Structure 1
């Protein structure tokens, strides 16, 4: 029995259905919370509310997808895979550090260039980024704990399950493994403020999933990446109190730092991708895992 002879469940899992469900869940929860606030007079902390909404939105989306698994006969164990024996984790730590450097560098350079063309637009984005519900040194213990749980536990599990476990394999089944890898990585990047940096993160995590056939590896790397982000936020000097204009000026002064980060990280990341880029006709991890199980 070969992977090609196994039923293709990812032909029936539509990405557009995922996006529509994401929109529907967000709208329903948003309306529900609005009604609760209007009728009860309760006032929720916006940042805490965003964290709770993230948990419910992505948690419900994953549960809805798991219901599809049961209906279509998709095995979650084949999607997740097994952790490779004697996996080398230390190089993964170095890879994550390089991804953080590239993400920071691409953020600084790209936003600097965009600020020359549309400063008001970039000021608005910087304001949104500064208001993201991430742990902060001067925030309450409860908020920081909730933020850390969302970033280090909930986000890596749900996002890797959806982007690498579902979207990558769906598009790879439809268009080929390379197109699936590129498309899912770009969608992952577009879903974040730093589209260029997070697209690279998505590509590296996708390659790790294809190479190891284990979703545990990209989940662990994603969690480690976010752990570094949480640590940097907690030990930062409180720059979130700066105005959008001051943040824009700070961004412009940081251009050369961004270039340095890119120069240090990009060659190694490109080398890793070139060495581990999947061959054109490579099967998706689900089919290899199912084939090994059947064998």
Structure 2
């Protein structure tokens, strides 16, 4: 029993350490030489996801999978995508009726085509892959083996942490949207036992957000 408890503690510690490493990367990047110039040019977000956060996430995933069998990529299923996609669509529709424009979105006005292209690439591909590994992957997995309420508690904690790190959002409506969105992805991850499905849903959600920012 003692060994099992220690194993659970170590496993949860590994998962949470990976998240802390990811978060520290996002904070320490702002102190890098030249990062302020990237921010002024509009490329800071793209650089952060493409050059730092995604590589760190993939590295953490590789190390984790070398020791634990709990985080497979899994298989993509179009049929399995439909119901959660419908739920996210309804959520987005409700959010659109109550939310106010977020101030940070104004920063994309007047950006060059290259900056917009890099932003789209990082938001629609790099962020969904990296964030699903960290949040619906490792943070959610930190609850494994902790009793009958572990899954529910893991979903709540994962979603709260997911909201907290997206500090660019300032309205209550955005916080509620992010929390429910994360909870849906957690349920999909648990039910499919894969990362590819929440990655796909996250990418579709971000594509819709980018469409609103740059086109509509």
Query: Offset of 1:95 from its aligned partner?
Result: 2.6
- Measure the CA separation in 2 of the matches of 1:13 and 1:212: 23
Counterparts of 1:43-62 in structure 2, within 5 Å, are 43-44=37-38, 45-62=40-57
Which has the greater radius of gyration? 1
Q: Structure 2: which 5+ residue stretches go unaligned?
A: none
Which residue number corresponds to residue 213 of structure 1?
Answer: 193
Tell whether 2:133 aligns with 1:167.
Answer: no
Which residue number corresponds to residue 128 of structure 1?
Answer: 104
Query: Offset of 1:24 from its aligned partner?
Result: 3.6
Which residue number corresponds to residue 31 of structure 1?
Answer: 31
Query: Offset of 1:52 from its aligned partner?
Result: 0.7
Which residue number corresponds to residue 178 of structure 1?
Answer: 152
Is contact 2:144–2:151 with CA below 8 Å preserved after alignment? yes
Alpha carbons of structure 1 residues 84 and 14: separation in structure 2 relative to 1, 3 Å: closer
Query: Offset of 1:53 from its aligned partner?
Result: 1.9
Alpha carbons of structure 1 residues 105 and 172: separation in structure 2 relative to 1, 3 Å: farther
- Measure the CA separation in 1 of the matches of 2:83 and 2:15: 35
Which residue number corresponds to residue 207 of structure 2?
Answer: 227
- Measure the CA separation in 1 of the matches of 2:193 and 2:33: 40
Alpha carbons of structure 1 residues 182 and 24: separation in structure 2 relative to 1, 3 Å: closer
Query: Offset of 1:173 from its aligned partner?
Result: 3.4
Query: Offset of 1:82 from its aligned partner?
Result: 2.1
Describe the superposition over 1:140-165 as per-residue Cα deviations: whole angstroms up to 9, x where unpaired.
22112111111110111011111011
Which residue number corresponds to residue 75 of structure 2?
Answer: 83
SS in 2 for 1:173: coil
Which residue number corresponds to residue 89 of structure 2?
Answer: 97
Q: Structure 1: which 5+ residue stretches go unaligned?
A: 38-42, 112-125, 237-295
Describe the superposition over 1:236-258 as per-residue Cα deviations: whole angstroms up to 9, x where unpaired.
3xxxxxxxxxxxxxxxxxxxxxx
Describe the superposition over 1:219-272 as per-residue Cα deviations: whole angstroms up to 9, x where unpaired.
111100111111111223xxxxxxxxxxxxxxxxxxxxxxxxxxxxxxxxxxxx
Alpha carbons of structure 1 residues 24 and 185: separation in structure 2 relative to 1, 3 Å: closer
TM-score normalised by L of structure 2:
0.77
Query: Offset of 1:29 from its aligned partner?
Result: 3.0
Which residue number corresponds to residue 73 of structure 1?
Answer: 67
Is contact 1:80–1:165 with CA below 8 Å preserved after alignment? no
Query: Offset of 1:90 from its aligned partner?
Result: 3.6
Is contact 2:58–2:130 with CA below 8 Å preserved after alignment? no
Query: Offset of 1:46 from its aligned partner?
Result: 4.1
Query: Offset of 1:79 from its aligned partner?
Result: 0.8
